[in-house]
Amino acid sequence: MSRRVADSRAAGAMGRVGAEGTPSAPGSASESSTPTPGALASGITVLRPGRRVSLLLHRRSAVAAVTLLLLLATVMLASACLGQTYVSPAEVWHTLRTGSGPYDLVVGELRVPRIVLGALVGAALGLAGALVQTVTRNALASPDVIGVGHGAAAATVLALATGAVRSPGAMPAVSVAGGLAAAALVYLLAWRRGMQPSRFVLTGVGIGVALSAIVQLYLTDSELEAAEQVKLWLTGSLNGRGREQAGPLAVVLLLCLPALVWAGRAVRPLGLDPDTAAALGVRVDRARLGLTVVGVVLAATATGAAGPIGFVALTAPQLARRITRTPHLPLWCSALTGAFVLVAADLAARTLLPPLEIPVGALTSLVGGPYLLWLLGRRTATR
């Protein structure tokens, strides 16, 4: 592409930024609906004199975030109340406020830590899915596709098979290391004078298939007790998990906050085609690498805390995008959507077939499969 064509595209993109408050993504592989005039008029840009810094307030996104927070609080309260033992909201509040009472074991020790972990895992997966889909510009991409979950599973299986790690408390760290290593391998193999999103996704699928084969070989030729332990972890579940897993995940989310603030600004120009983004002064490869690293760290840590929970990272960003009607994937609404989806799914998994408890990963996959087929059909119909 000539310099003149790139400059003209950049001028057009900057014109859209000034008029709409955020750049659109022409030709983006992940479909986006055109914002309504009301949504465009609600964008408020504040410029600081003498500095190229802008703050964008999208009113619909703010309203959506507040609504999602209220929905999340509601489903968290419902999850604390409902179960084999019903606890009234007043008793839940009394238990949380005083740390004592007849329901301290049920509410304070079992349900609330599990609910908090579910919200943290869902938020991390929602953020990771939004970042990966921004990098690949594909609504069908997620950390699962690029091998994070498969790498975590393979690392866990190898640690159990070789006896290298015997402490159950060390297994989340092993799965995090496996997820990071798998994503790094995918990135290195996909690099060809720059990171091409299509090559990145296809390489991730290939690595994921290979790692999945390693897990299946172990399950076929292992003792029954060890195989059952791995199978339970592979389904993804919040049962029996709580403060021990929520603490490290909360620390990782806090440490990633500065990177997420930067990512919130970086996702907008990356929605454009690479030539236009480069003409706007964006270092495309560096931005993609940064977003990928943050997304993989979040996804790997969430997987280490609760096991591979499928389809949350895939569906949460797209649901948030449809709620906010923004041309780019909204990170904070994606996090809130992921938290709400996972807490609601865990509540349903606990209460649908009492006293049987369905692993939440199995339930999200059961619901996410038809959603993926619908999304594929929708994308095919629009071409």
The predicted-structure confidence for 88-106, as pLDDT tens digits, reads as follows 999 999 988 888 888 888 9
Instruction: Give me the percent of the chain exceeding a pLDDT of 70.
Output: 75
Average pLDDT over residues 340-362: 89
Report the pLDDT value the prediction gives residue 316, as an integer from 0 to 100: 92
Residues 33-56 pLDDT 10s: 334 433 443 444 444 455 554 555
Report the pLDDT value the prediction gives residue 380, as an integer from 0 to 100: 59
CA distance 305 to 151: 14
Alpha helices in 21-111 (DSSP H): 37-41, 59-81, 89-98
Q: Report whether pLDDT(165) > 70.
A: no
CATH no. for residue 88?
Answer: 1.10.3470.10
Looking at the structure of the chain, the number of domains it has is: 1
Domain that holds residue 129: 3-382
Q: Report whether pLDDT(8) > 70.
A: no
CB 178 within 8 A of CB 155: yes
Going by pLDDT thresholds of 50, 70 and 90, the confidence category of residue 122 is very high
Whole-number average pLDDT of the chain: 78
Average pLDDT over residues 63-83: 94
Report the pLDDT value the prediction gives residue 310, as an integer from 0 to 100: 84
Name the range with the highest mean pLDDT among 48-52, 60-64, 188-192, 232-236: 60-64
Report the pLDDT value the prediction gives residue 134, as an integer from 0 to 100: 87
Report the pLDDT value the prediction gives residue 43, as an integer from 0 to 100: 44
Q: Report whether pLDDT(112) > 90.
A: yes
Q: Report whether pLDDT(281) > 70.
A: no
pTM (2 decimals)? 0.80
Q: Report whether pLDDT(21) > 50.
A: no
Distances from the Cα of 51 to the Cα of 46, 54, 214, angstroms:
11, 9, 53
Report the pLDDT value the prediction gives residue 173, as an integer from 0 to 100: 80
CA distance 39 to 19: 12
